[in-house]
Structure 1
C-alpha cells in the first residue's frame, strides 16, 4: 500500500509536523502479506519559509500559493498512491479559514482519510463551511477524543459512521528516572514540568503564581518551562509573553525555582525530561482544546498530570489518571500539588494509571490502527463525490508578483505613468492610482499574507492622507518634486478613494491603519451627497458597502447608500428603453462600475428594485461586450452612443477590471456559477483573449500594458493598468476560494 500524506513536516517546528513524522513511520513498519507499505509527504511551508526536508518529502506547498495546491493534487493522482491522509488544522493551510485545501481534495482521485486536530465548538461561518466541506469530501475522518465526535455530529452534521476515534500516538521511548534526573542535576529536586510552544493561552503564569505556597513547604521545588515561543506569536508580538513570565518570576523572587528552556528539542531529549519530572502540568486558560499532543506525551511517559479541565484533559485524566484544577486558579493548583507531594503513594498511583493508559497509545499500536482503517477504506468501492466544475483555473494565471508595483513606488506614492516598464517620473503621482494601489495591497495581504504588500500599504495610505483638504475633499495630482498640481481632484478620484478606504475599514491589517482610514473616511463623508458624476457615486457606494459589512448598525450610512442607489436607478429609468438598458445614452468608460455598485448595494439593502436594475444593466453590458465569446471592451476613442457606431479602440484595463468585479459580485449575490465563467472570460482579456489576440500582461516586467490602440498594444505599463491587472488576478483567486466553500 502506497500512502500520500499532506501535512506540515520536520524540520519545520510544528506539532502536527512531528505527529505526521511519527504516524508515517509507525504505519510503514506494518507490512501485510501482499506487499510492504510505502509513503511520501506533501509538506506545507509557512510565510515564505523554506526548509531542508528529508527525502520522503516529494513536493512542497507554499501556504498562500493556490497553484501549489492544484499541482499537489495532480502529483498525488499520478504518484500511484492508493490512499491519501490529510492532517487538518486551520492555521496550516492558506486562504481564509484554510480554504485553499478544498480545491486540492476536490481533485483527488483516490480515497481520503482526514485527521482533525482542531474542531471548534463555536466556529465562524467560514470555519464551519470549510470544515464541513472537508468532512464531506473525506472517505473517513479520524478524531482523538469523544468530545470531537460529539462536535462533528451535532455542529457539523457529519454521520457518526464516518468517524473513528484513534488516540494521539506517543513515542515508545523510556528512560530510567533516576538516571534522567541525575543527567539534568535534578536528583534532590521536586520537579514540575510544562512543555510545548509558549503562548498566552497556555496559562503558565498560573503555575508560577502557585509556586510561593509550594516552596514554603518544599523549598527544593523546580519548575521547568520547556519550549519555544510559537512562531506565529513571534511574528505578531515577539517575546512579549515570555518577557512577562520572566518578570513575574523575578517579582515573586522565584529566579532559583523556575527555568525557561527556549528550545524545540527532539523526542528522545523530551522524554528524558518527562521521566525526570515528578508532576507534569498543563495550565491552559480555556476549555477549547479538543486535542493536546503534549498531554498525550506526558501520559505516554507515565507522568502524574495536573491540568485545567480543557476538553481533552477532562477525558484523558478521568478514572484517576490525573487531577484537574479550575482555570486560572493558582490557589487550587497549589493545594493539589501540596497534597500529592505530601502523599507519595497517591502520586505513584496516578503515575501508574497514567502509564497503563500510555502503553495503549504508543505509535506502533496507533500506526497499526491507521493501517487497518486505510486497508478497509481501500477495499470499499470508491465513491468519489462529484467534483464542482468551473472554468476558473488558477493554474492558467501567471505567478502573482508585486515587482513592477514596487518598481513604480517610492516613499511618496506610486508613480502614475511608465515608459514601457520604467517609471516616468515626469508625470508624478495621482490620487486615483494610490487609492487603487491601497486596495490592491490590502487584497494581496488578506489573501496571500504578502509581506511586500503590507510594507507598501502605509505609503499609499499616507499619500491619500496628504492629499486630503480641510473640507474632506482631495487633491489628485502631485508632481515628482511634491508640488500640488490642483486644488480639488476629480469626482472619480474622490469615489475611488472612498472605495479603497471603505475596503480598508473592513480589512485593516492592524488597528493603526484602521484608525487612520476611519479618520480620512469620515472627514470625507460630508461630501458624499454633493457628488454629481454617476461613476463617482458608484465608486463611493462600493466603499460605503465595504464599510457597512462590518458596521451594519450605522443606519445613517445605510440611508446614504439607499439615496445614492436611487440616484443611479433614476438615471437608468430615464435613459432605459426596450433595447438600451443603461444609465446614460452612451456606453463610455469604466462601465461595469455602475452595475457593480448596485450589486454591492443589493447585498446590503435587500431591495428588489436595486437588484433588478443591477441585473438588467449587467445583462445589457454582457450582450454588448461578450457576444462573441470573449471580452470586447467599448473603446475609449469615441465610445458607443445609442444608435451610433461602436468604438473598438482604445480598450483599457480598468474596463476589464470593472467587468471582472461586476461578475464576481453577481456570483456572490446569486451563487450562479455562470457569472464565474463570464468573470474568467473577462480576465483572459489580459492574456490574449481579446480583439487583437495579444497579451497585455508582460511576463518579463510583471506589469500590464496600458491598452489597445488601432496600431496594436500600447506598451507603456503605468500604475492604472498594472493595478487593474493585479486586482483582477486577486479577484479570480478570491472567487476560486469562494466557489469551493460549502453553501449553507
Structure 2
C-alpha cells in the first residue's frame, strides 16, 4: 500500500526557463532535481508569464498563468485540482505575481485546496501594507515555508509571527562539481596563465559590478595577469525599461579607468554547461551586491558549492554562507576593500586553498540531489500538517458549536448512478464507473434509502422506480440453491461469484426487513417477505459480527410489522448472545469493544444491541457506543472517525485516515437509535456532530457533500478529499440526513422540555 503521506504528484509554481531570471532557473532546477531523485514522482510545472506571448516552455510546463490576469490564477487552481496534485511547491517573490505586491497569488491559494510549501526568495524586515497583507495570506494558506538562510527563519518568526516548526531551512541547491584546479578550465576561457575573477548572473545596478571594476586598477598594479569576467545578459525587465544603459556605463567605466582589456563581458544567458566552465575556470568569485536585504543568491551558492574563493559584500545570504572562514566579507561600495581582499588571497595561496576546501566540503550538503531530498521531506511534512488540526486551534472546552444547516434533499446523483439494473458501485468524480458495475451491498443501501425517503416524503414516482430496480437486483442476487446473496455483478450482468460475503447478506436482509416494517407498497412487501424468509436461516451459521448486527437491525425492522414471529425472535436472541459473548471475551475497562481491532462500520455493533429489547444488551450497547464516540472526537470538538489505513488495533495507534462516510452514517444511525430509546438529547447532539463531518466540520475543514451534484465524496484523506462520488458514500450522506430530519419533531420536543435546550452543542463529549 502506498504511504498516504508520500508525495507522488507535485506541482511547481513560479517562473520557468526559458524565461531569464533567477527564480525561473531555481524553479526549473528544483523541479528537475525532484524528478531525477524520485523517479516515481510525477512532477509538473506552472509558469507565470510576464509577456502576452509567453515562452517556449519545455514539456514539464503543463499550464501557464498570465501575471496580470486574476482569472488566470483561478484557472490554474482548477487545473491542479482536476489533475490530483498532492502538494504544491510555490516560489515566491513579490514582483513575479500580479496585483499589489503580487496579491493575485492569494486567489490562487484560496481556490487550489492543496497543501502548499512556499519557498521565499525575498523576506523583508519592514514590509509595506500591501506586502504585509500578502505575507499574512501566505501564512494562512501555506502549510510550510522554505528559507535558504537562518536570517530568513528569524525574520519570519519575529516580523510575521510564523512559528519555527513550520519553517524548513534548505540551502539553495548547487551543481555537484569536482574539486579541481581552476587551470583545468582556463583553456576553454582563453585565459591560460591568467588569474580569473568572476561575477555571473543577470545584470542590474544592484549587483554593484561598477565597484568591482573600480577596484581593478589597484589589483592590476600588484597582479597584472588578472582578468575579470562579467557573465550574463541584462535583466529582461531592465532591458525593456532602459535598454543596455547599465552595461554601457560599466563598459565606459572600464575604458575610463584603463582596464577595458581586462574586463571581459559575456552578454548572454549562458547554458548550464557553459556556466560550469566559467565557474570552473574562476580563481576568485566576486559578489559586490549593494543591498543588504538579499536573503538568497543562486550565483553565490553555485560558486561556493564549486569550491571557489568568494569575496562578497555583507548581504544576509553571504554573511551566513561565508562565515567561519568559508569566504571573505568586505564593506558595501568599497572598491579599495575589494582590491585589498583580492591581493590578500592571491598573496597567500595556502589561505586561498583552505577557503576553497572549506567551501567545497560545505557545498556537499547543498548539491541538487541533497536539496531534492530535503524538499521531499518538507512536502511530506506539509501533507501531514494538512491532516493535523489547524495552526491555531481554539480551546476545546469553551467554544460552542452552532449547528450547521441541513442541506435540502437532492437525489440527482443517486438517479445518475442508477439504471434499470440497479445502482453502480463507484463513480469517477460524479460519473458512474461502469467498469466496476454493481453490488448487493450498495443496492441494499439504496433500497433502504428509498423506503425511508417515501416514509418521510410520501409517494414519489421517480423514487418508486428506483426502489423497484434496487429490489429487483436483490431478488436476482439471491441464489435459492445456496440460500445466499451473491454480491458483485459485472456491467455485462454476469455474477462474479457464487455467493457473496456474510456482510452483504446481512445488508440485504436489513433492506428487505426495512421494506416489511415500513413500506406501503404491497408488491415490495410481498417480494421482501419471500427474500426475508428464505435468507434469514443461514445467518445462524455466520461468524461475522457485522453480519449479525445488520441482521439484528433487519429483524428489528421486520418485528415492527410482525411482532409475534417466534422463530425470528429466537434468531434475534441467538445473534444478541453471539455479540454479548464477543464483548465479554474481549472487553476491559480500557477497551470497551467487541474485537481486538476496531475496523469499519463500527457503530453498527452497539446499534444492534441498543435495539435488541434486552436489558443487558441495551446497557452494553449504550456503553460501547459512548466509548466509541469518545475516541472519535478531535481535540477541537469535531467528529474524527477511525481511518481505514490501519484501523485501530487494541493497544495501538488509531488510524486517522482515510476516513470513510460509512463511519459517519453508522454512528449517526446508532446515536439516533439511542435517542429513540432514551430520549436523551446527548445522543441527538452526537448524531448532529457526526453528520456535520459531511459538511466540513472534520479534520481538514472540507465538506464531503457536494450540494451541486447531490453526491458525497468517497473519503477524507490525509490532506485532501477523494473526489469520486460513489454509491456507498453518497448513500451514507443521504441516509444520515434522513436519520436527523425524520426525527426533527421529536428532537425539538425534547429540547422544549430541556432547561438548556437553547445551548449550542458542546465541543467535548459529556461525561458518562
TM-score by length of 2: 0.49
Distance 2:51 2:33 in 1: 30
- Flag the structure with larger Rg: 2
Partner of 2:374: 369
Q: Give secondary structure in 2 for the equivalent of 1:120.
A: coil
Q: Which residue of 2 aligns with 1:356?
A: 361
SS in 2 for 1:29: helix
1:240 aligns with 2:245: yes
Match of 1:23 among 20, 30, 36: 30
User: Are 1:54 and 2:61 counterparts?
Assistant: no
The 2-side partners of 1:336 and 1:178 are apart by 21
Task: Give the whole-Å Cα distance in 1 for the aligned partners of 2:183 and 2:218.
Answer: 27
Contact 1:175–1:272 at 8 Å: present in 2 too? Answer: no
Quote the residue 1:94 is aligned against.
98
- Select the residue among 258, 263, 266 that pairs with 1:261: 266
How many residues align? The count is: 383
Look up the match of 1:171: 175
Tell me how far apart the structure 1 counterparts of residues 79 and 260 of structure 2 sit (CA, whole Å): 53
Q: Does 1:8 align with 2:15?
A: yes
**Residues 303 and 344 from structure 1, CA distance in 2 versus in 1: closer, same or farther, beyond 3 angstroms?**
same
- Structure 1: where are the runs of 5+ without partners? 387-744
SS at match of 2:37: coil
Moved more, 96-105 or 259-268: 259-268
Please state if 1:231 is matched with 2:228.
no
- Whether 2:115 is the aligned partner of 1:108: answer no
The equivalent of 2:166 in structure 1 is 162
Instruction: Indicate whether 1:322 and 2:332 are aligned.
Output: no
2:297 to 278, 285, 292: 292
How far apart in 2 are the matches of 1:385 and 1:102? 19
User: Contact 1:174–1:271 at 8 Å: present in 2 too?
Assistant: no
2:188–2:277 Cα contact (<8 Å) kept: no
1:345 aligns with 2:347: no
For 2:47, the equivalent position in structure 1 comes to 43
1:458 aligned partner: none
Distance 1:384 1:74, change over 3 A: farther
Specify the alignment match of 2:149 in structure 1.
145
8 Å contact kept, 1:137–1:385: no
Structure-2 change in CA distance of 1:361 and 1:327 (3 Å): same
Cα 1:162–1:136 change in 2 (3 A) is same
After superposition, where does 1:647-726 map in structure 2 within 5 Å? Answer: none
Cα distance in structure 2, aligned partners of 1:173 and 1:61: 35
Q: How far is the alpha carbon of 1:125 from its aligned partner?
A: 0.9
Aligned-pair CA distance for 1:30:
3.4
Q: Structure 1 residues 168 and 48 mapped into 2: Cα distance closer, same or farther (>3 Å)? A: same
1:12 and 1:327 map into 2 onto residues whose CA distance is 30
**Superposition deviation, residue 376 in structure 1:** 2.8
Partner of 2:133: 129
Give the 3-state SS of the residue equivalent to 2:138 in structure 1: helix
CA contact (8 A) 1:8 1:44 kept: yes
Structure 1 residues 54 and 175, CA gap change in structure 2 (3 angstroms): farther
Partner of 1:331: 336
Distance 1:267 1:38, change over 3 A: same
Where structure 2 has 5 or more consecutive residues not aligned to the other structure, the ranges are 1-7, 392-768
Q: Secondary structure at the match of 2:355?
A: helix
> 1:87-141, CA deviations, whole angstroms, 9 ceiling, x for partnerless residues?
1111110111000000000112221111100011221110111112112210011
| Cα distance, 1:173 vs structure 2 | 3.6
Given that 2:179 and 2:307 are in contact with CA atoms closer than 8 Å, whether structure 1 keeps it comes out as no
- The equivalent residue for 1:510 is none
Compute the RMSD of aligned alpha carbons.
1.6
Deviations 1:406-454, CA, capped at 9 Å, x for gaps:
xxxxxxxxxxxxxxxxxxxxxxxxxxxxxxxxxxxxxxxxxxxxxxxxx
CA distance in 1, matches of 2:275, 2:212: 20
Task: State how far apart, in whole Å, the 2-side matches of 1:161 and 1:380 are.
Answer: 10
CA contact (8 A) 1:8 1:17 kept: yes
What is the SS of the residue equivalent to 2:98?
Answer: coil
Q: Distance in 2 between matches of 1:185 and 1:86?
A: 41
C-alpha contact (below 8 Å) 2:47/2:63 kept by paired residues: yes
CA distance in 1, matches of 2:185, 2:300: 20
1 CA distance for matches of 2:103 and 2:388?
23
- Secondary structure of 2:160's aligned partner: coil
Contact 2:143 2:386 in 1 (8 A): no
Alpha-carbon separation, structure 2, partners of 1:213 and 1:285 = 21
Question: Does the CA contact (< 8 Å) of 2:101 and 2:130 recur in 1?
Answer: yes
Rounded to whole Å, the distance in 2 between the matches of 1:208 and 1:121 is 31
- Provide closer, same or farther for how the CA distance between residues 77 and 383 of structure 1 changes in structure 2, counting only shifts above 3 A: farther
Cα distance in structure 1, aligned partners of 2:198 and 2:295: 21
2: CA distance, partners of 1:91 / 1:381: 28
Asked if 2 retains the 8 angstrom alpha-carbon contact of 1:85 and 1:113, the reply is: yes
Question: Deviation at 1:338?
Answer: 0.7
CA drift at 1:78: 0.9
Distance of 2:75 and 2:337 partners within structure 1: 53
Q: Deviations over 1:479-514 (max 9, x none)?
A: xxxxxxxxxxxxxxxxxxxxxxxxxxxxxxxxxxxx
State the SS of the aligned residue for 2:310: strand
Could you say which residue in structure 2 is the equivalent of 1:65?
A: 69
CA contact (8 A) 1:114 1:142 kept: yes
1:135–1:380 CA distance, 2 compared to 1 (3 A): closer
Query: For 1:519-668, what aligned pairs fall within 5 Å after superposition?
Result: none
Q: Which residue of 2 aligns with 1:302?
A: 307
SS of the aligned residue for 2:165 comes to: helix
TM-superposition CA deviations, 1:254-275 (whole Å, max 9, x none): 1111011111111121111111
Give 3-state SS (helix, strand or coil) of 1:110's partner.
Answer: coil
1:202 and 2:207 equivalent? Answer: yes
User: Aligned partners of 1:158 and 1:64: how far apart in 2?
Assistant: 29
1:535-564 Cα deviation digits (max 9, x unpaired): xxxxxxxxxxxxxxxxxxxxxxxxxxxxxx
- Which secondary structure state, in structure 2, belongs to the residue aligned with residue 260 of structure 1? strand
How far, CA to CA, are the matches of 2:37 and 2:124 in structure 1?
33
Q: 2:80 aligns with which of 76, 81, 90?
A: 76
Residue matched to 1:211: 216
Looking at structure 1, the residues matched to 241 and 91 of structure 2 have their Cα atoms a distance apart, in angstroms, of 25
What displacement does 1:174 show?
4.1
Counterparts of 2:225 and 2:133, CA distance in 1:
52
Aligned CA distance change for structure 1 residues 29 and 384 (closer, same or farther; 3 Å) = farther
Secondary structure of 2:387's match? coil
Task: Provide the TM-score with structure 1 as the length reference.
Answer: 0.50
The 3-state SS of whatever aligns with 1:164 is: strand
Q: Distance in 2 between matches of 1:215 and 1:376?
A: 53
Aligned to 1:488: none
C-alpha contact (below 8 Å) 2:143/2:385 kept by paired residues: no
User: Counterpart in 2 of 1:489?
Assistant: none
